[in-house]
Amino acid sequence: MLFKTALFLAASGSLFAQEVHSGHAAASWLTESETFEPGKPIQTAVQLRMEPGWHSYWLNPGEAGMKLSLKWDLPDGWKASDVSYPVPISFNTGGLAGFGYINEATFPITLTPPDSASNPSQVGLKISWLTCNDNACVPGDAELTLKLAPGTPSPSDSAEIISKAIAEVPKTMDGVTLSVSEVDSALKLTLKIPADSKIDPSACEVFPASASTVKDQNPIRFEKDGAEWAATATKSDYLDGPVKELTLVLAGKGTPKPIEVSWSAN
């Protein structure tokens, strides 16, 4: 009995967040608090640690690869947000452009218990990923669980990691807008930013979050164009009909915080 209790503590304690090794990465699920209040969202995050030489993939994986796949086992009435992706790096593997992560990446997820939640609850998540190196691709998956009990939330040892990860997720910013027009086989991108912002788009790394819209291998660079910023992107070979939507992520030295900006026709 004592042993069983100890095991339960080890598995649920954030210090000992269970890490599941599979393929060439290891996954663990962190929570900001082991306790929850009914109806109040809890921040959690899945952490993926890649073996040296291996990378995993962003939301737009690029020309090959695969984004994360999540399957939920939620207690009645519980809700899980979409997984958020931190800013990726770009790489080239065997001539194919890709976006993703090396070493370690933390993906925030918000859980919301129902207003009626009053019992200890176990939330289950099966997460699958793909890791590749220059020579091979190997998938991995992990069945992760969080055991949460009703009570006043108190920060776990992972709370700081999670809030840092949330800050690293690109977010929309007031006054930052994108417009896109087609000029032959190219896309003309126009970016507006508030005059008083500390953003320099020409010093930003730009990532296309929309798959199959622009050619992933051609970097996008914004340049000052009067009061606005302009860039040219190459249309993807797989764009079916006129461009309808484009989401970009701007990150790096040119911006204090990573920015997400979206455009859609109409």
Q: Does 53 bind other proteins (CB under 8 A)?
A: no
**Count of positions on this chain that bind other proteins (CB under 8 A):** 23
Q: Does 240 bind other proteins (CB under 8 A)?
A: yes
Task: Pick the piece of the chain touching other proteins (CB under 8 A) from 27-35, 48-56, 92-100, 162-170.
Answer: 92-100
Q: Which of 63, 143, 168, 228 binds other proteins (CB under 8 A)?
A: 63
DSSP state string for the chain:
-HHHHHHHHHHHSGGG--EEEETTEEEEEEESBSEE-TT--EEEEEEEEEPTT-EEEEEEEESS----EEEEEPPTT-EEPPPP----EEEEETTEEEEEEESEEEEEEEEE--TT--S-EEEEEEEEEEEE-SS-EEEEEEEEEEEEEES---B-TTHHHHHHHHHTS-B--TT-EEEEEEETTEEEEEEE--TT----GGGSEEEE-STTTB-TTS----EEETTEEEEEEEBPTT--SS--EEEEEEESTT-SS-EEEEEE--
Task: Pick the piece of the chain touching other proteins (CB under 8 A) from 2-10, 33-41, 62-70, 252-260.
Answer: 62-70
- Cβ proximity to other proteins: between 18 and 128 the closer is 128
Q: Which of 3, 4, 237, 241 binds other proteins (CB under 8 A)?
A: 237
Q: Which of 119, 238, 253, 266 binds other proteins (CB under 8 A)?
A: 238
- Cβ proximity to other proteins: between 42 and 68 the closer is 68
Closest to 146 in 3D by CA, of 75, 252, 235: 75
Q: Does 197 bind other proteins (CB under 8 A)?
A: no
Q: In angstroms, give the least distance from the CB of 216 to other proteins.
A: 10
Question: Which 119-138 positions form the footprint of other proteins (CB under 8 A)?
Answer: 128, 130, 132, 135-138
Task: Pick the piece of the chain touching other proteins (CB under 8 A) from 27-35, 56-64, 115-123, 146-154.
Answer: 56-64
The number of CA neighbours under 13 Å toward the Cβ of 6 is: 3
Q: In angstroms, give the least distance from the CB of 193 to other proteins.
A: 31
- Cβ proximity to other proteins: between 109 and 130 the closer is 130
**Residues with Cβ within 8 Å of residue 84, at least 6 apart in sequence:** 107, 108, 109, 166, 169
Residue 232: both structure tokens together: 């040219």
Q: In angstroms, give the least distance from the CB of 137 to other proteins.
A: 4
Q: Which of 94, 155, 175, 252 binds other proteins (CB under 8 A)?
A: 94
Q: Does 84 bind other proteins (CB under 8 A)?
A: no
Q: Which positions touch other proteins (CB under 8 A)?
A: 61, 63-64, 66, 69, 93-96, 128, 130, 132, 135-139, 211-212, 236-238, 240
